[in-house]
Amino acid sequence: MIDVAIIGGGLAGLTSAIALAAKGLSVVLLEKKSYPFHKVCGEYVSNEVLPYLKTIGADPASLLPATLTRFQLSSPSGNLLESPLDLGGFGISRYTFDHFLYQQALKQGADVKLHNNVQEVRFEGDKFSLKLSSGETLEATLVLGAYGKRSPLDRQLNRSFFRARSPYIGVKYHLRLDMPTDLIALHNFRDGYAGISAIEDGRYCFCYLTTRQNLRQHGTIPAMEKAILYQNPHLRQIFGEAEFLYAQPEVINEISFATKTCIENHMLMCGDAAGMITPLCGNGMAMAIHSGRIATEQVLHYFGQGRDRKQLESNYTYAWENQFRRRLQVGRAVQHLFGHPLLSEATVSALKHVPAAVRFIMRQTHGQPF
């Protein structure tokens, strides 16, 4: 019988494992892959997370991330606006950052089981039973669901968003390019948008969101890029000048921005498993880390204050919604302003004349240092 089982070794799961193991709890983290590995992700992190990462002994400074201080936004035709990033951020690949956090979790004494899918989770008799793909069965007092955007577990839990098809796909490249290292740029195109920013080792993360319809219409990713993304001159320049570092991009399907719940079958859901902000707002990595921190605080309170599960779930729900509900709502609203060429053009043109509005929107989708 272990104290906490964490399903998923992304940012929320890893930071929770580090912090909980450091407090002496028995922690098992279950990850279906083996570190290091790539993920479809914009790889920008708001500086709001830095105090907490330092507190748990996971300061990313040793990884030499890129320092990001400026934001740029273009319409499909190339109309451009720029704004400072109030808090600033850093760029770091998931390949490097997740592996680093994995090593910190091991140092703190967490038991990390790699190449393990969780096939079933049952809650009976005030405890959890987890059936693993290895054939092993684990029992745990608490379970954190930190397995990302979409998992077969969502089907088992009968989560409503899983039954609805999502039109979105995500594509990510790493590349080298002559571009300022302090800039994160977001370029719109028909039915999508692309982000680019520096990461470690002189490389850049180039990641975009579009629809399956765009891909079906043109047959292949390269053909779609030439027909759709190249219409934005800034994107056409990136494709023309960049050195792409991998033969094939990372691709993910069925990205859903639908409302999710942060408690499922008594599990505490963290990161994208609890709700995903639109990539347009560029703060998903920081939100995942913050949700891991909230889960950690509530789990420690549970074990230290009488093990009241009902109170745990109530407190976690309140803390999660208080921190993230408004940000997710704003993110979904902002997404509706982009993607459609005419609306995107009008929005960028309007925001160019009201720079304070750009900074206001960014503040609504980012948190305070914690």
**Tell me, what's the pLDDT at 322?**
95
Q: Say what the pLDDT of residue 165 is.
A: 81
Q: How far apart are CA 287 and CA 367, in angstroms?
A: 8
Provide the pLDDT for residue 364: 85
Share of the chain above pLDDT 90, in %: 79
Contact 76, 341 (CB under 8 A): yes
Q: What is the pLDDT at residue 363?
A: 84
Residue 352 predicted with pLDDT over 80: yes
* pLDDT for position 327: 87
Structural domains present in the chain = 2-365 (3.50.50.60)
Question: In sequence order, which residues have a C-beta less than 8 Å from that of residue 265 and are 6 or more positions away?
Answer: 121, 123, 157
Predicted confidence (pLDDT) per residue in 110-154, tens digit: 999 999 999 999 999 999 999 999 999 999 999 999 999 989 899
Predicted local distance difference test score (pLDDT) of residue 341: 81
Q: Is the pLDDT of residue 309 over 90?
A: yes
* Strand, helix or coil for residue 21: helix
Q: What DSSP designation does 251 have?
A: E
pTM of the predicted model, to two decimals? 0.94
pLDDT tens digits, 223-273? 999 999 999 999 999 999 999 999 899 999 888 888 899 999 999 999 999
pLDDT band at residue 310 using 50, 70 and 90 as cut-offs: very high
Mean pLDDT across 304-314: 96
